[in-house]
Amino acid sequence: MSSTPRVAVVTGGSRGIGRAVTRRLAADGYDVAIVYTADHHEAVASVKEIEAVGGTGRAYQADIADAPVIERVFESVEERFGGIDVVINAAGIMPLAPVSALDLDILDRLLRTNVRGTFVIAQQAARRVRAGGAIVAFSTTVTRTHLPTYGAYAATKGAVEALVPILAKELAGNDITVNAVAPGPTATELFFEGKSQEVVDRIVGAHPRGRLGTPEDVAEVVATLAGPARWINGQTVFVNGGLA
């Protein structure tokens, strides 16, 4: 096996599930480039976590839907690390409202980040990931559980699920896998935002495992898709502890 570390790009790598993915990949021996939107302090802290386990990390501030900026980020990663093996797109937003009440400006934001952003990242990944590599996008278990107020968010993730198997077929012969993970309720800042303790308790009570997922639960599956799981391709893997 090569002694050169594999290189991963993780969007949303400064917080929540993305940060757990960053820690896990670093522990598995990857060098990791983090793409973050705004919180420089958390991005720096995530890079320090990579370095603490012996990896090399770097943080890039960018809007994932801004194609020219993202192209420059990927070019910079290739120049700094010598290539890219894995791309994980964990960045996303999740404003909630009933379909009848949703402000269409919010819908436009959702589409820009969750659909256009996913496509922009997938496009750069498809052009640059080396043979033996992997691309992992993020969907949601709500595409199965169909919870009220999640209509717009789930619709954007349905687009992600449609994109993944098509890109997997387009990359046939390149030895690159393309998959998505679809987490269930996971204990992150994004999940807790706007939810009362009563709502959280109700969600936990309805779960067959009696708890929320953790970012580490999801990161374990992402790391498997990023590395050893070469026979899983074009799939959406539901990571929800049996919720759906």
Q: What pLDDT digit, counting tens, does each position of 104-121 carry? A: 999 999 999 999 999 999
Q: What order of strands is seen across the sheet that includes strand 177-183?
A: 57-61, 31-36, 7-11, 84-89, 129-138, 177-183, 236-239
Q: Helix or strand or coil: residue 197?
A: helix
Q: How far apart are CA 175 and CA 149, in angstroms?
A: 39
Give the model confidence (pLDDT) of 60-89 as tens digits. Answer: 999 999 999 999 999 999 999 999 999 999
**Per-residue confidence at 3, pLDDT binned at 50, 70, 90?**
low
Q: How far apart are CA 183 and CA 213, in angstroms?
A: 8
Instruction: Please check the confidence at residue 179 and state whether its pLDDT lies above 80.
Output: yes
DSSP string, 48-83: HHHHHTT--EEEEE--TT-HHHHHHHHHHHHHHHS-
pLDDT at position 193: 83
Q: How far apart are CA 103 and CA 19, in angstroms?
A: 30
Q: What is the mean pLDDT of residues 7-32?
A: 97
Q: Of 218, 131, 123, whose CA–CA distance to 180 is shortest?
A: 218
Percentage of the chain lying above the pLDDT 70 cut: 99
In CATH, what is the architecture of 7-239?
3-Layer(aba) Sandwich (3.40)
Q: How far apart are CA 188 and CA 145, in angstroms?
A: 19
**Taking the mean position of all CA atoms in its chain, how far away is CA 31?**
17
Mark whether 30 is an active-site residue. Answer: no
Q: How far apart are CA 139 and CA 180, in angstroms?
A: 6
Q: What is the mean pLDDT of residues 200-227?
A: 93
Instruction: Please check the confidence at residue 2 and state whether its pLDDT lies above 70.
Output: no
pLDDT at position 1: 45
Q: How far apart are CA 231 and CA 241, in angstroms?
A: 22
Give the model confidence (pLDDT) of 225-234 as tens digits. Answer: 999 999 999 9
Q: What is the mean pLDDT of the chain?
A: 95
Instruction: Please check the confidence at residue 191 and state whether its pLDDT lies above 50.
Output: yes
- Give me the catalytic one of 30, 36, 150, 153: 153
Q: Give, in degrees to the nearest 5, the angle at Cα 51 between 222 and 127.
A: 50
pLDDT at position 221: 98
